[in-house]
Amino acid sequence: MKFDTPATTNPIDQLKVVGHATDRIDGPLKTTGTAPYAYERHDVAPDAAYGYIVGASIAKGRITSMDLSSAKAAPGVLAIVTADNAGKLGKGDYNTAKLLGGPNIEHYHQAIALVVAETFEQARAAAQRVQVAYARADGSFDLADARAATDRKTTDRNSTIGDFAGAFAKSEVQLDATYTTPDHSHAMMEPFATTAAWNGDKLTVWTSNQMIDWNAKELATTLGIGRDKVHVISPYIGGGFGAKLFLRADALLAALGARAARRPVKVAMQRPLMANNSTHRPATIQRIRLGATKQGKLTAIGHESWSGNLVGGKPENAVQQTLWLYAGENRLTGTRLATLDLPEGNAMRAPGEAPGLMALEIAIDELAEKLDIDPIELRVLNDTQVDPAKPERKFSQRRLIDCMRIGAEKFGWAQRSAKPAQRREGRWWIGTGMAAAFRNNQVMKSGARVRLDGRGMVTVETDMTDIGTGSYTIIAQTAAEMMGVPLERVAVRLGDSSFSVSSGSGGQWGGNCSTAGVYAACVKLREAVAQRAGLDVAGASFAGGMVSAGGRSLPLAQVAGDNAIVAEDTIEFAELSKQYQQSTFGAHFIEAAVDAYTAEVRVRRMLAVCAAGRILNPKTARSQVIGAMVMGVGAALMEELAVDKRLGYFVNHDLAGYEVPVHADIPHQEVIFLDETDAISSPMKAKGVGELGICGVGAAVANAVYNATGVRVRDYPVTLDKLLAKMPSLAI
């Protein structure tokens, strides 16, 4: 099905099942421990051996020797895989560094060996016996230094509209400030984990991965085998946040280990390896220049961002939201990429907008203070209903002002003091802050196969994944709505590369696109059912487990009989995304308390107001948003991968040193979804919402801390050492 004209009235609009707050179908399996994760597939690999990854202990250089003799002689060892004996390996399109290093080392903790043994403990003990000698090479590990060294910097993208330099110079009010965000680590509960088994020349991997089709292709490419020889299965995933979009070392090494040991092998990447071995969100240095009239109209908007990556990697596109969030005739945006020898930087929840808004939305607040204008009113004044670069291109939906107005009323914004450090409760300074939220609505073609059987059951098969987001549930709701059956009459099977190729989970596109693919397949199934029943296809309606047309009604189970009816289709998005700018919007509100003596920060209240098209399941959508809000608090107050700039690695590479929020850090959270549909987005009239929840949270926290104390921090995280020396006098 091609989606090339705006959606009109369709069966989803009935909202008998879709749009209702429904418990996650996979919830009972998760809470009872009966949802098997990749490492737990003992049923399919009962005699599996265990692999333990050996990571490089230098950031750049070469392996000069590797002595495996002691490790091979250790109890239980079955095989040791290295670059020397793994055979010729390719590299997929989505990997910057090789997943199995040697003799060249590209980053710290790059996998250089896999020790396979009968038990995990034996594999771990033997791995300690692998003796590696290196020739260390000099590397570049400091973004600020690399930014200044022109030979290590490349321009990725520049965009200019009008005369930014001239307009900024003539602006009545100017802001020119630099903000930094640190490297961030994915900290999902389930590590990178895979069970692999060969049957002749065919490989099956049970793995934790967000994008099944990508993973299958990349694994085949890396191993140098046909795509038809690789079967990837990933029905349950314990979090991903973007790190599991791509093939990682666990899957490749499990496959190589299973081939070497001639039996199934399980590999779970050790937690201390995850920060340096896998991908992370790169640090940024962002310069923002804003020029405005005294009345608050933006006349010049400049946003430039620097980030680092390995050779062949891409920059963090932190200027992305600045292209569309505010009006302004004269604009400059640019991203710069510095070559660094740190581990690979890549997607992490809301890449681009998440770190970009951490800077931009502080800058907007700073400009509001210079202008003596309320921060919300400044944002309202500079709203735009068209793409600033292409005024003829309208937004499909844009309700940013509604989000801010509704949020302000609900949160009690009117009681906020514009002057900082005015509210005190005992030892706590209290402040309120807000920030706009923006995330582009991306679409990707997605397919599904649906089957109606003689029991009246509808089964959906698609390689879509559920990373804790509720995919099982919203897909079941879609099929139930389309086929007119109760939710319990729908079975959903996900995460298998033998199923129809879906959009996968990533980029906030998964929910909207995967359900649109199910919609397309169900349209075909409805046609097939009506035809078999001898009913008018165009006039057929589906409700209560029946198909009806022209005064006749038949049970779906009777129509299917002994010969199940199967339909398959893919939703393909055409030119609408070029005709309209599709984005999601929101507003975050934060109340923060700062200890007057220690400068410790406590978030006390949080509110997110979201405009993201039709909300397919308010319950699972809310869970997505509040989870993202938690990540936003972490980024604002505590998360930071500390770089050893001498040796080139992230020092705090486990959950003991890399701090993330816990339950005690997070107060009451409230989420409001605006009632809207977007016919330009998909037949579901939905958009993504999971990543919108993190966009702007960091800045809202920083703005609240400033309102509480009068201390402006432009370098994240906002920790007490950056506040303490400038805290207001207790005599105030």
For 609-667, what is each residue's pLDDT tens digit?
A: 999 999 999 999 999 999 999 999 999 999 999 999 999 999 999 999 999 999 999 99
Q: Are 542 and 673 in the same domain?
A: no
Quick check: bond before 103 cis, omega within 30?
A: yes
Res. 381: pLDDT tops 60: yes
* Residue 160 located in a structural domain: no
Question: Does residue 732 surpass a pLDDT of 60?
Answer: no
For residue 9, the model assigns a pLDDT of: 98
How far is the CA of 714 from the CAs of 177, 418, 603, 636, 727, in angstroms?
8, 19, 18, 11, 15
Q: HSE-up of 70 (CA within 13 Å, CB side)? A: 10
For residue 526, name the pLDDT band (cuts at 50, 70, 90): very high
437 and 448 in a single domain? The answer is no
Q: List pLDDT tens digits, range 694-716.
A: 999 999 999 999 999 999 999 99
The position carrying tokens 């100017």 is: 174
* CATH code (residue 116): 3.90.1170.50
Q: Would residue 358 count as lying in a domain?
A: no
In this prediction, residues 216-243 reach a mean pLDDT of 97
Is residue 186 in a domain?
no
Edge to edge, the sheet with strand 668-673 lists 424-425, 428-440, 583-595, 601-611, 668-673
With a CB cutoff of 8 Å and minimum separation 6, the contacts of 1 are 520, 523, 569, 570, 571, 572
Averaged pLDDT, 488-497:
98
The verdict on 13 and 58 lying in the same domain is no
From 529, 562, 578, the end of a domain falls on 578
Structure confidence at residue 127 (pLDDT): 98
Report yes or no on 50 lying in a domain: yes
pLDDT over threshold 60, residue 467: yes
CB atoms within 10 A of CB 174: 16
- Residues 630, 593: one domain? yes
- Where is the domain boundary, 534, 559, 578? 578
Q: Strands 230-233 and 284-292: what pairing?
A: unpaired
343-374 tens-digit pLDDT: 999 999 999 999 999 999 999 999 999 999 99
DSSP 268-282: E--HHHHHHHS-EEP
Give domain status of residue 556, yes or no. yes
Place of tokens 């210079």: 370
- d(C-alpha 456, C-alpha 559), whole Å: 9
Q: Quote the mean pLDDT of the chain.
A: 97
Do 447 and 559 lie in one domain? The reply is yes
Backbone angles phi, psi at 312, to 5 degrees: 95, -10
Query: In which domain, by residue range, is 559 found?
Result: 2-35+443-578
- Note whether 262 and 131 are same-domain residues: yes
Mean pLDDT of 224-235: 98
Kindly state whether residues 711 and 567 are assigned to the same domain.
no
Between the two ends of the chain, the Cα-to-Cα distance in Å is 66
Local structure of residue 232 (DSSP, 8 states) = E
Task: Give me the amino acid identity at 570.
Answer: T
Q: Where does the pLDDT of residue 157 fall: very low under 50, low under 70, confident under 90, or very high at 90 and above? A: confident
Domain shared by 112 and 254, yes or no:
yes
Please choose, from the candidates 567, 541, 565, the residue with its C-alpha nearest in 3D space to the C-alpha of residue 453: 565
Q: Read off the tokens for 506.
A: 């990533």
Lowest mean pLDDT among 283-297, 412-426, 566-580: 566-580
Preceding omega of 717 cis (within 30 degrees of 0): yes
Task: Find the largest Cα–Cα distance for the chain.
Answer: 85
Residue 269 contacts residue 249 (beta carbons within 8 Å): yes
Reported as a pLDDT band with limits 50, 70 and 90, residue 202 is very high
Assess whether 427 and 485 both reside in one domain.
no
Asked if 11 and 482 count as a contact pair (C-beta separation under 8 A), the reply is yes
158 within a domain of the structure (yes/no): no
CATH code where residue 499 lies: 3.30.365.10
Q: What is the pLDDT of residue 151?
A: 64
At residue 235's C-alpha, the angle toward residues 24 and 612, to 5°, is 50
What does the pLDDT average to over 454-469? 98
Catalytic sites, residue numbers: 691
Within this chain, do residues 664 and 567 fall inside the same structural domain, yes or no?
A: no
- What confidence tens digit (pLDDT) does each residue in 82-99 have? 999 999 999 999 999 999
User: For residue 490, what pLDDT is reported?
Assistant: 98
Pairing of strands 184-185, 280-281: antiparallel
> Is position 51 within any domain?
yes
Do the Cβ atoms of 484 and 543 come closer than 8 Å? yes
Contact assessment for residue 194 and residue 180, using Cβ atoms and an 8 Å cutoff: no
* Nearest of 445, 466, 503 to residue 624 by alpha carbon: 466
Q: Answer yes or no: do 625 and 530 share one domain.
A: no
Last residue of a domain, one of 546, 578, 610: 578
Looking at the DSSP bridge assignments, the partners of residue 609 are: 587, 672
* Residue 175 placed within a domain: no
What pLDDT sits at residue 632? 98
- What's the total number of domains in the chain? 3
pLDDT of residue 150: 61
Crossing angle of helices 618-637 and 353-371, rounded to 10°: 70
Are 119 and 264 found together in one domain?
yes
Is residue 307 within 8 Å of residue 319, measured between CB atoms? no
